[in-house]
């Protein structure tokens, strides 16, 4: 399987991490494992997902994961 690069951004624009994984689902799970609080992810497509803390009750997510362009 091909490993792809995924960039993680704080919702609002600042890049916070880079993860190498085989798919966006695995990238989200790997990033969530590094967080202190419980979180969940929502896929928007094969190249984009949002992550939010379970205690966050606003409509805005906390992090964005997207496949890096031009690998």
- Measure the CA–CA gap between 56 and 62, rounded to whole angstroms: 8
Is the model's pLDDT at 71 over the cut of 70? no
Residue 38: the pLDDT is 93
Token pair for residue 33?
């494992």
| pLDDT tens digits along 19-56 | 999 999 999 999 999 999 999 999 998 899 999 998 87
Q: Please, which pLDDT band fits residue 66 given cuts at 50, 70 and 90?
A: very high
């Amino acid at each position: 399987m091909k490993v792809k690069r995924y960039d993680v951004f704080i919702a609002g624009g600042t890049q916070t991490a880079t993860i190498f994984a085989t798919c966006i689902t695995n990238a989200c799970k790997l990033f969530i494992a590094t967080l202190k609080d419980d979180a969940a992810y929502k896929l928007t497509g094969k190249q984009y997902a949002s992550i939010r803390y379970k205690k966050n009750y606003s409509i805005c997510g906390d992090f964005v994961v997207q496949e890096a362009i031009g690998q």
